[in-house]
Amino acid sequence: MAKKKTIYHCTECGAQYPKWQGFCSQCGVWNSIEEEEIVVGKKDASSSFSATTLSPSRPIRIQDIERREEVRLDLGDPELNRVLGGGLVPGSFVLLGGEPGIGKSTLILQTVLGTPYRTLYISGEESLSQLKMRADRLGGSESECLIYAETSLEKILHTAHDIHPDLLVIDSIQTIQTELSDSSAGSVSQIRECAGALLKYCKTEGVAVILIGHINKEGSIAGPKILEHTVDVVLQFDGDKHYMYRILRGQKNRFGSTAELGIYEMRHSGLRPVDNPSEHLMSHTGLRLSGVAIAAAMEGVRPFLIETQALVSSAVYATPQRSSTGYDTRRMNMLLAVLEKRAGFKLIQKDVFLNIAGGIRLSDPASDLAVISAVLSSSLDLALPEGVCLTGEVGLSGEVRPVSRIEQRLMEAERIGFRAMILPEGNLASLPEDPTRKIRLVGVKTVEEAFRLLFRKEG
């Protein structure tokens, strides 16, 4: 007979306790312990599936293990394939998280509608008519994708066992519930039990499973942290909903690198992969405006040129405002202190506003030189020379420090058509001579040298 049992679990890490306490000793979070009733003695939801491949029964040496090349599924989306490491590995367990309305379901639905693989799409949030309307808008209503509106894990697993799909999509994991727990859908125990059963099905049947997950107000994926440890790949889909660009990042990938980045443009007909983000992240008005500098930045291993915009004006209130969009405000304050201390420009009575064009969040330290150049350009009301981009990390002493992957940044700037690049002297000395190079390279050691080049002579 199944019996009910009361336990107390942490909503942050999933740790269990026999009684309530105000502090979780595992993750150190206060007021995260909640009461929950579970049912013990029930049969596992995935116990009806037998393993097709068993691990070796005895330990073997690593050199004796047979190496097999993984055959990846081409999803037809170059950006998604890049972030996954070249495609979707059969039998992999993928988790996609993002803010509400950012386009998670749209990304996965338009991807599976365009693939030739047999796909079972489980919808726990939308009805069949809603999905039909979205499929018509995405232009994939003639696909062979099978749609199943269900929230019971037991029914989903039995349906998947009968259909034998190549790809199983769960939208979303917070809406699925199992009989192994009496708690409501989306609770820690429900997500833990559902993820464990889906993992067993994924590995025993060799079917790739994609979970769509919600995020909490802190920006992390909702549910216990064990969910992210269970899956093979964790993808984060973010961006500003008021802008048209979305970024797909890999936070965990057992089959590839987490340094890859995918960029999409949101349109009425769905998400369009952006093959050349540099041209989209720069304005092409032809006007020389003050407060604008082009940074040669990197996101993971992907170079792109992005426009940094700054506005410096007289402070209206006693305390000057410091605001940034798409850039770390604390790092901007540090650069302003360097600008005042090392370069002698007084900004203490000035409001400073910084914006990264296109709604992209920039975290590359190599964009420091472009940021302070844009701030100084707005303060002096002088435009930077045309056709010049900048890269370099600024230290607290005002020195311009070398950056990584300078060759990729240089090739991207030359491909876009820039005439000159200001870069750290250390990077310039390490670059080999290339007579076919069409871009002029100017090395600087300090921010003062860079300012003399930008504002006292034509670049």
The residue to which tokens 């080999």 are assigned? 432
Mean pLDDT lowest for which of 24-38, 43-57, 176-190, 305-319? 43-57
Question: What band does 458 get if pLDDT is binned at 50, 70 and 90?
Answer: very low
- Contact between 319 and 313 (Cβ < 8 Å): no
- Binding positions are 98-105
User: Is the pLDDT assigned to residue 218 strictly greater than 70?
Assistant: no
Q: In what order do the strands lie in the sheet with 93-98?
A: 146-149, 119-123, 167-171, 208-213, 93-98, 233-238, 245-253, 261-267, 270-273
Distance CA 58, CA 382 (A): 72
* 194 vs 221, higher pLDDT: 194
pLDDT at 4: 67
pLDDT at 52: 43
User: Is the pLDDT assigned to residue 378 strictly greater than 70?
Assistant: yes
User: Is the pLDDT assigned to residue 232 strictly greater than 60?
Assistant: yes
Question: What band does 46 get if pLDDT is binned at 50, 70 and 90?
Answer: very low
User: And the tokens for 439?
Assistant: 């871009």
Burial 160-193 (b: 16+ CB within 10 A, else e): beeeebbbbbbbbbbbbbbebbbbebbbbbbbbb
**Looking at residues 347-351, what average pLDDT do you find?**
88
Mean pLDDT lowest for which of 68-72, 80-84, 131-135, 397-401? 68-72
* 102 vs 40, higher pLDDT: 102
3 state SS of 58: coil
User: Is the pLDDT assigned to residue 208 strictly greater than 60?
Assistant: yes
Mean pLDDT lowest for which of 158-162, 256-260, 312-316? 256-260
Sign, CA dihedral 28-30-32-35, equals positive
**Looking at residues 111-128, what average pLDDT do you find?**
91
Biggest CA pair distance of the chain: 86
Contacts of 2 (CB under 8 A, 6+ apart): 39, 40, 41, 42
pLDDT at 23: 86
- Binding positions for ATP are 98-105
| DSSP one-letter string for 3-29 | EEEEEEEETTT--EESS--SB-TTT--
Question: What band does 91 get if pLDDT is binned at 50, 70 and 90?
Answer: very high
Residue among 137, 136, 160, 133 nearest 148 (CA): 160
User: Is the pLDDT assigned to residue 353 strictly greater than 80?
Assistant: yes
User: Is the pLDDT assigned to residue 190 strictly greater than 70?
Assistant: yes
* H or E element, residue 410: helix 406-416
The residue to which tokens 């972030």 are assigned? 83
User: Is the pLDDT assigned to residue 50 strictly greater than 50?
Assistant: no
The whole-chain average pLDDT of the chain stands at 86
Distance CA 86, CA 71 (A): 10
User: Is the pLDDT assigned to residue 112 strictly greater than 70?
Assistant: yes
Residue among 411, 360, 404, 359 nearest 389 (CA): 411
Question: What band does 54 get if pLDDT is binned at 50, 70 and 90?
Answer: very low
| DSSP one-letter string for 144-162 | --EEEE--BHHHHHHHHHH
